Amino acid sequence: MLNWSSLNKAEQTKALSRPAISDNKGLRKTVANIIDKIDKQGDNALFELTSLFDKVKLSSLQLTDNAVVKATQRLSDKRKLAIQTAYGQIERFHIAQKTTDIVVETMPGVKCTLKTEAIDSVGLYIPAGSAPLPSTVLMLGVPAKLAGCNRVVLVCPPNKQGEIADEIIYAAKLCQISEIYTIGGAQAIAALALGTETIKPVNKVFGPGNRFVTEAKKQLSQLVPGFAIDMPAGPSELLVIADDSATPAFVAADLLSQAEHGPDSQVILVTNSADVAINVQTELDLQVELLSRKDIAKQALNESRLIVCDDIKEAVKVSNLYGPEHLSIQTEQPQQLMTKIRSAGSIFVGDYSPESAGDYASGTNHVLPTYGYSKVISSLSLADFSRRYTVQELTKQGLQSLAETIIELTDAEGLDAHQRAVTIRLEK
Ligand code: NAD
């Protein structure tokens, strides 16, 4: 528990530092070696690294149609219905994000168009190291399908039996994804970027993952020309702003819901009340013991903070400084605070908007920027699966109208050839 105003600048910076990026150099080297291995040895390296990191010997990399049928049969109707309901919710919110072409005649005879077209091939990374995440399949697969991407490839690390969870396979089927590979970690991202004997490369890769996955996305987007990534979506983060009106049991439950993701998740409470901080701590101690993943949650809590501020204005300042992936506002007038928030991937407003709702089924996307990138990077949306490009078409009259402007500016820049491309037409 920290008292914000009693900390000096360095202590404040340390209080808001992310745990996952403390060993950057070692991580960079490990991931660079994995990428190099995939580049040189392709499929063989995928088999070897899966055996090393996932402790399983795969007989093939690609999931068979038969496995999809079996997974669908094994799942209960209740579970399938839940996946279908979440699918519908996410589809409703993302279908509304569709845009139409923008056509503007900027002057008579000069027509400019902004067009949107689906990215041809995309790779979806579904994390499964510590927990399989079918919800992530929907968060990536639904917009990929709505955007109309030609080829959608899914990769997911295998469990100890060398399999992918039935729920992940079923969610992929709903999204009409048929190319699925049982690989994970940095090696899966490298395969999608570089290609191997079995896996053709994709244009852009999406999805959250642990630090190896996130680092691989970062390195490969710089290494492979034309290969893009969605965003640095690393270990989960939640910051809760709470005042006296908050229910400490709710706040603690929310903090634990993110702490259980992984040991490198980070959860932070910022409050204007020492009592709230103490009561939340008591609730955390009680509730963590009830969790099946309590060991993981406890490790994450070690890197977490309860920060007491002088007032709620300062609490908002701390939140904006941190730029959380998820921000929950549990105060008397949450709407009022909303207008002061400058950086957060997704905001959960009021006592009855638990972060779990956005993780699964409210309809918003749960793939969100971490590491403070919420200050500049947006949460995932339909637009990320498309590329925008512009078109211009000028008539002779349109070019005549613009000629003087272009000629003057080419003079200013000393670019004769640019100028000639205009005058040669007007002289004809
Ligand atoms: P994961 O699928 O991201 O990673 C598992 C893979 O990591 C394994 O297959 C293995 O190949 C690789 N790996 C493990 N140990 C390694 C090592 N020592 N060296 C090299 N590679 C190694 O699954 P995960 O570990 O459960 O992580 C999922 C992460 O995704 C969590 O941190 C969670 O918080 C985060 N997440 C983020 C968002 C978001 O939107 N930001 C959403 C959901 C989940």
Quick: pLDDT tens for 94-126: 999 999 999 999 999 999 999 999 999 999 999
- Kindly name the residue from 167, 325, 355, 366 that is annotated as catalytic: 325
| pLDDT greater than 80 at residue 234 | no
Q: Are strands 110-118 and 102-107 parallel, antiparallel or unpaired?
A: antiparallel
Tokens encoding 171? 């969610």
Q: Which residues contact 339 (CB under 8 A, 6 or more apart)?
A: none
Neighbours of 426 (CB within 10 A): 11
Assess whether pLDDT exceeds 60 at residue 165: yes
Contacts of 272 (CB under 8 A, 6+ apart): 243, 244, 308, 309, 310, 311, 312, 314, 315
Active-site residue, from 94, 326, 355, 366: 326
CA distance linking residue 424 with residue 112, whole number of Å = 23
Q: Among the atoms of ligand 1, which is closest to the Cα of residue 264?
A: 32
Q: Is the pLDDT of residue 6 over 70?
A: yes
Q: If you average pLDDT over residues 134-153, what whole number do you get?
A: 97
Nearest atom in ligand 1 to the alpha carbon of residue 188 is: 11
Rounded to an integer, the average pLDDT of 410-428 is 97
Q: What does the pLDDT read at residue 20?
A: 56
Per-residue pLDDT, averaged over 54-78, amounts to 94
Q: From its phi and psi, is residue 421 left (phi > 0), alpha (psi between -120 and 50) or beta?
A: alpha
Instruction: Give counts: helices (H), strands (E), the chain.
Output: 16, 14
According to the annotation, is 258 in a ligand binding site?
A: yes
The pLDDT score that the predictor gives to residue 23 is: 63
The answer to whether residues 174 and 84 touch, using CB atoms and an 8 Å cutoff, is yes
Which two structure tokens, joined as six digits, stand for 299? Answer: 């490790």
Averaged over 285-305, what is the pLDDT?
95
Q: Whose CA is nearest to atom 27 of ligand 1?
A: 210
The pLDDT value given to residue 18: 87
pLDDT score at 129 = 74
Mean of pLDDT values over 41-58: 97
pLDDT tens-digit readout, 203-221: 999 998 888 998 999 999 9
* pLDDT average, residue stretch 363-381: 94
DSSP run (H or E) holding 28: helix 24-54
Nearest to 269 by CA among 21, 6, 1: 1
Q: Would you place residue 404 in the very low, low, confident or very high pLDDT band (cuts 50, 70, 90)? A: very high
pLDDT band at 131 (very low <50, low <70, confident <90, very high): confident
> Residue 21 — very low, low, confident or very high, per pLDDT cuts 50/70/90?
low
Q: Above 90 in pLDDT, residue 56?
A: yes
